[in-house]
A and B are shown apart, each in its own frame.
Chain A
């Protein structure tokens, strides 16, 4: 089974040379730490950065220099700053190649819910609705089951949707899944020490298992 770092490490392997990537809050943010050496990518932060760098050294924080999670960050050489409309312009026009974000639920046809639990929690969608409506490639990083032990990979979402038919791939602590065009979660890899049976028991939506499923190598 993977911990949060493991999920981030596995997703980092999906990041290819030459990509502009938007990382959401939480596990997706950790992905930046595991992008392999020698791969040139630029991180986009939707509050207006391309070429986002690591956190500043202590004492060098700048209140005017934050990421979309409101954390103090730095810029890398070659970075640029722009306003929020241009930021979503590059997202809508699909110049940002890959979006990695968290989710509360994903359905077997690729619908995603991650912004509201009616009556309990309403934080807002932030930029997530714009990102999922436009990105060509969306990877969801999340826990396979919620705190109540219920599957988050469902036949259809029960929570208010963030976007429809948009998620392409999911990485959880149990495995890696492609969301199929005609519906269903196709199991690609098992997390270390996890059996297909375990994954089947934790997946409420349609699980597609074809042939031997390799154990992931991190």
Chain B
């Protein structure tokens, strides 16, 4: 039998998340966010959190719910445009914010999961993102350029949303809800995955697994997914 990673609720999964911890939170905008984990953090009232997430939700959904309750001390994100409460807290100094390039954010997650402590990227060289960072000149594809050294993230927990997962922790993401989720799943000291559908070992095609269960510490069946759409754009028939 494979190793069983199942826990029975968000409450059980997040029981040892304490104040002042650092969390990786999956999703792009409101797409593919761990809704059940976020609700549980609101319920628990955990404070002083550092959240690494591409965005900060909107005022009344996603990480915006934690911002409203002032549970987040610091956000590390690439884009925070759609959240008025976020902007207010940032400009007033209540919230510490570190903005980093999106590709750098993604790769800092991936490298944590690959066991590589640092890497070089050209993103942000010559801008304020590069201030105080080590840099080095490399030739890539015949072009000499300056690169910044960036570190892999070191986070206490990763909170991940997937589509289907089995009890061994193997998971599959759906459409663009994949985004940062598989990268953060590899990067947490403890990785918690909530899924829309929890299945038995053997029910997922191993060829289709995106995150192997070795990266997943706890998996649970999520409930009441709202899956809110941020910008509903359509065309007429």
Question: Interface on A for B, CB 8 Å cutoff?
Answer: 45-49, 54-73, 81-85, 87-88, 91-94, 115, 122-130, 133-134, 160-164
Contacts and interface: CB of A to CB of B under 8 A. Distances in A.
B43 interface: no
B7 to A, nearest CB: 24
Contact of A81 (B97, B121, B178): B178
B105 to A, nearest CB: 8
Given A57-B235, A66-B230, A125 B99 contact: yes
A72 B110 contact: no
- In order of increasing CB-CB distance, the 10 nearest A-B pairs are A88-B103, A130-B103, A123-B81, A164-B126, A63-B227, A84-B106, A129-B101, A126-B79, A133-B122, A124-B79
Q: Most A CB atoms within 10 A — which of B97, B100, B177?
A: B177
Nearest to A88: B103
Contacts, number: 177
B101 A57 contact: no
Given A63-B228, A71-B233, A127-B101, 11 more contacts: A66-B229, A66-B231, A81-B178, A85-B107, A85-B109, A88-B106, A92-B103, A122-B87, A122-B97, A129-B124, A130-B104
A62 B90 CA distance: 32
**Is chain B's binding surface mostly helix, strand, loop or mixed?**
loop
B21 to A, nearest CB: 23
Interface in B203-237: 210, 227-237
B80 interface: yes
A94 B141 contact: yes
A57 B237 contact: yes
B28 A47 contact: yes
Interface stretch (B12-20, B64-72, B179-187): B179-187
A83 B234 contact: no
A46 B178 contact: no
A52 to B, nearest CB: 10
B126 A63 contact: no
B127 interface: yes
11 contacts: A46-B103, A47-B179, A48-B28, A55-B235, A58-B235, A65-B176, A70-B82, A82-B178, A122-B90, A122-B97, A129-B103
Nearest to B163: A64
Interface in B28-42: 28-32
Interface residues of B, number: 59
Interface string B97-133: 1011111111101100000000001111111110000
B127 A162 contact: yes
B167 interface: no
A62 B230 CA distance: 11
Interface of B: 28-32, 54, 77-82, 87, 90, 97, 99-107, 109-110, 121-129, 141, 163, 174-183, 210, 227-237
Q: Most B CB atoms within 10 A — which of A61, A65, A69, A130?
A: A130
A68 B128 CA distance: 24
A47 B127 CA distance: 23
A27 B154 CA distance: 38
A139 B103 CA distance: 20
Contacts of B109: 85
B155 to A, nearest CB: 16
Given A48-B178, A70-B31, A83-B179, A124 B81 contact: yes
Nearest to B235: A55
A61 B127 CA distance: 38
Contacts of A63: 30-31, 177, 227-229
A133 B123 contact: yes
Contacts of B101: 125, 127-130, 133
A125 B79 contact: yes
Contacts of A126: 78-79, 102
